[in-house]
Amino acid sequence: MFTWRERLEPTGDRFGVEWAVTDRHGGSSLEPWSSFNLAAHVGDREDAVSTNRHRLAHELGLRVADLRLMDQQHGCDVALTDATTGAAGASGMPAPAADALVTGSTEEALVVLVADCVPVLLVDRAEGLAAAVHAGRPGLLAGVVPAALQALRDLGARRLDALVGPSVCPRCYEVPGDLRDQAAALVPAAASVSWSGTPAIDVAAGVVQQLADSDLDVTVRWLPGCTREREDLYSYRRDGTTGRFAGVVRLVSPEQVA
């Protein structure tokens, strides 16, 4: 179910965090989505996706209604959850059309779905704020990571811990030369070469640069692994029809400590 998971308990007046990156094992989906697909838009059976989401929520000690997902657009729009604003993202409402989701609640978990794009999880443990960001190549160039950072800053964030999850590596992400040049002009770290020496984009490296360039104090943890090269993760570039794994983040308040 998880390729990486960590729980940091609250200390003093600092919030804790439980965050994770899922893999493709331990679910109910059949081929070609086998088995822990969490996306409802890829052709998988509705009941299988529902079962998988219930399992994820159970692992986090939540109801499935407490999972907050996005209608991801490969853009840079940011949505605040109902617990933060009383509006977008409320249980029973359509998922907001956005590529970054922000919360200040300990009663919900933010979920970003990926299958080659970069899942980015952000937490300010002092202010009690969290975000989940979907950063593909279009989102990188559109500035979804800076937009999420700005939204957190507007809510009072000053010091962030960032988790950058597995994504397609530049060896496996060949692009036309002009597209690499466009990315390099905006985020120099994104320029790379493929395994055969052709132009490529390193989206994750670009995301890490954008985090490092922020005027916020951001500590970055970058998980290794290429989705196209790892059979335990979904990869659209490798398989075409496939599922989605997730980055998940939940704040933990001192009152929730057993």
Task: Render pLDDT for 12-69 as a digit per residue (tens, 0 to 9).
Answer: 889 999 999 999 999 999 999 999 999 999 999 999 999 999 999 999 999 999 999 9
Enter the pTM of the model.
0.94
Helix residue spans in 157-212 (DSSP H): 177-186, 203-212
On whether residue 254 sits in a domain, the answer given is no
Q: Is the pLDDT of residue 235 over 90?
A: yes
Task: Tell me the C-alpha distance between 156 and 162, whole Å.
Answer: 16
**Where residue 216 sits, what CATH number does that domain have?**
3.60.140.10
pLDDT of residue 83: 60
Q: How many domains does the chain have?
A: 1
153 occurs within a structural domain: yes
> Is 257 a domain residue?
no
Statement: residue 258 has pLDDT above 80: no
Question: Would 187 be classed as within a structural domain?
Answer: yes
Give the pLDDT confidence score for residue 92 in this predicted structure.
Answer: 55
| pLDDT classification of 202: cutoffs 50, 70, 90 | very high
Residue 203 belongs to domain spanning = 2-249
The answer to whether residue 255 is domain-embedded is: no
CA quadruple 111, 78, 149, 119: dihedral sign? positive
Domain annotation covers residue 11: yes
